[in-house]
Amino acid sequence: MTGRIFTSDHHVYDFPAPLAWNVVHTGTVPCDSFSMTFLYEPDMAPVLKLAAGFAAIEGGKTVLRGIVDEYTVELGTDGLTANIVGRGYAARLLDNESRPLTYQSATLAEIVRSHVTPYGITCGEMANLRASSVYTVASGSSQWKALEGFCRTYGGFTPRFSPDGKLLATPEKVGKRLTVKDGDMVLSCTLREDHYGVLTEVLVIDKTRNVSYSVKNQDMLEKGGQCRRVIYTPGQSTWDAMRYTGEYQIKQSRQEEKTVTLCLPGSVLAAPGDRLTLDLAHMGLSGEFRVAEAENIFSAEQGATVKLTAKEA
């Protein structure tokens, strides 16, 4: 893998072969992240000081585009090394706060134009969405929250970023399929099922209008679960906004209910949104899962491995 730096004065620099790397793909929030370690040379000093953007390139293809948060130079047992650390482009929206705004019948294009484009982000895909009435961006909201709230409320999806840093403001498409079965090389596999924190009810309250909307998780209620949350929304919330808020909170809590963590040899084998079909009879584990996170790890001692975190599809 090659690490490429884009400096704040618009120069491009490719680092030598790395000693180690860690590239994590989530596609959304928490955002993609990376770290890369390589032998340090004196002429790297001005490049590191001006490092602003980063690209991880594997086989001639960009597998992550992001911003550089920090760098370190260290003298240790491995000699003189440098390390760069950063996050994907979602960080640009997370790090910037929006002023409070109220939109009348806004479109997604308008939201992207106001909350995304000013931060140097290109939109690769955009759904044709329009708010049914008022959409409010509350005080203290990040630019990401302004975008995500609109997509979730009026489209029922969470926006994502492609590996090359483009915004995908459309419902997720099923990616490629990866099958792992008995006899395949599996370095480790963990199945975790946890009911803690799975919501049974979300009560959404608009204090301004003194109205409420209850959304229930019938499946968990039938299992005897009891876990309710009360959420207050900005004034003038529509019924659509209140319903989607409740449904989204329940959906998010259920994502952590059943998790498979799989470690395989190789590099960049899957990405968030891809489907993982498991047939591991000796673990009693089978079915189709959605890849939620893919962590690509390399070190000179262990080679390249991929750690996939997957949820039930």
pTM metric for this prediction = 0.82
Residue 285 has pLDDT above 80, yes or no: yes
Could you tell me which CATH class the domain 93-169 is placed in? alpha beta
pLDDT at residue 92 in the model: 97
User: What is the per-residue pLDDT across 224-263, written as a single tens digit (0 to 9) for each?
Assistant: 888 888 888 766 666 667 777 788 888 777 776 789 999 9
Single out the residue of 93, 227, 102 nearest to residue 165, CA to CA: 93
Rounded Cα distance, 244 and 159, in Å: 15
Rounded Cα distance, 1 and 180, in Å: 25
Instruction: State the Cα angle at 178 between 175 and 181, rounded to 5°.
Output: 155
pLDDT at residue 123 in the model: 96
The full 3-state SS of 112-157, as one line of letters, equals HHHHCHHHCCCEEEECCCECCCEEEECCCCEHHHHHHHHHHHHHCC
Rounded Cα distance, 71 and 82, in Å: 7
Mean pLDDT of the chain: 91
pLDDT at residue 232 in the model: 83
Domain 2-88 sits in CATH at: 2.30.300.10
CA 91 from chain center: how many Å? 10
Torsion of CA 292, 57, 161, 32, to 10 degrees: 50
DSSP, collapsed to helix, strand or coil, labels residue 170 as: coil
What would the two tokens of residue 175 be? 């990616």
Domains 2-88 and 177-193+258-312 share a fold: yes
pLDDT at residue 133 in the model: 80
Helix (H) or strand (E) holding 181: strand 177-181
Cβ–Cβ < 8 Å for 237, 210: no
User: What is the per-residue pLDDT across 192-208, written as a single tens digit (0 to 9) for each?
Assistant: 887 777 888 988 888 77
pLDDT at residue 132 in the model: 82
What would the two tokens of residue 247 be? 């449904």
- State percent of the chain over pLDDT 70: 97
What would the two tokens of residue 20 be? 């180690």
The structural architecture, per CATH, of the domain 177-193+258-312 is: Roll (2.30)
pLDDT at residue 237 in the model: 65
Single out the residue of 271, 241, 219, 287 nearest to residue 62, CA to CA: 271
Cβ atoms < 10 Å from Cβ of 197: 12
Q: Write down the domain spans for the chain.
A: 2-88, 93-169, 177-193+258-312, 201-255
Rounded Cα distance, 127 and 184, in Å: 39
Rounded Cα distance, 247 and 123, in Å: 27
User: What is the per-residue pLDDT across 149-164, written as a single tens digit (0 to 9) for each?
Assistant: 999 989 989 999 999 9
- Give the mean pLDDT of 256-280: 93
